[in-house]
Homo-oligomer: A and B are copies of this chain.
Amino acid sequence: MKNRQSMIPVYYRLAEDIKQQIESGELKHGDLIPTEGQLCEMYGISRMTVRQGLSLLAEAGLIETIKGKGSFVTCPKLNQLVIDLKTSQATGGEPLRYQLLGVKLIRGDHDFARELGCAESKVITVKRLIYKGDQPVAIEDKYLPYLKGKPLLENQMDYADFPEFVAKHQESVPVRNDMVISVDTLSEEQYKLLEAEQGMPALVIKQVIYSRDDKPLGISIMVCHKDRFQLTATSYPLSGRL
Which residues of chain B come closer than 8 Å to A178, judged between CB atoms?
Answer: 232-236
Given A226-B182, A233-B181: A174 and B78 within 8 A (CB)?
A: yes
**A68 within 8 Å of B by Cβ?**
no
| B231 pairs with A183, CB closer than 8 A | no
| B231 pairs with A203, CB closer than 8 A | no
Given A175-B23, A236-B176: A230 and B78 within 8 A (CB)?
A: no
| A85 pairs with B76, CB closer than 8 A | no
Which residues of chain B come closer than 8 Å to A203, judged between CB atoms?
Answer: 181-183, 203
CA distance A30 to B22 in the complex (A): 39
| B201 pairs with A184, CB closer than 8 A | yes
| B237 pairs with A80, CB closer than 8 A | yes
| B82 pairs with A81, CB closer than 8 A | yes
CA distance A79 to B179 in the complex (A): 10
Which residues of chain B come closer than 8 Å to A182, judged between CB atoms?
Answer: 203, 226, 230-231
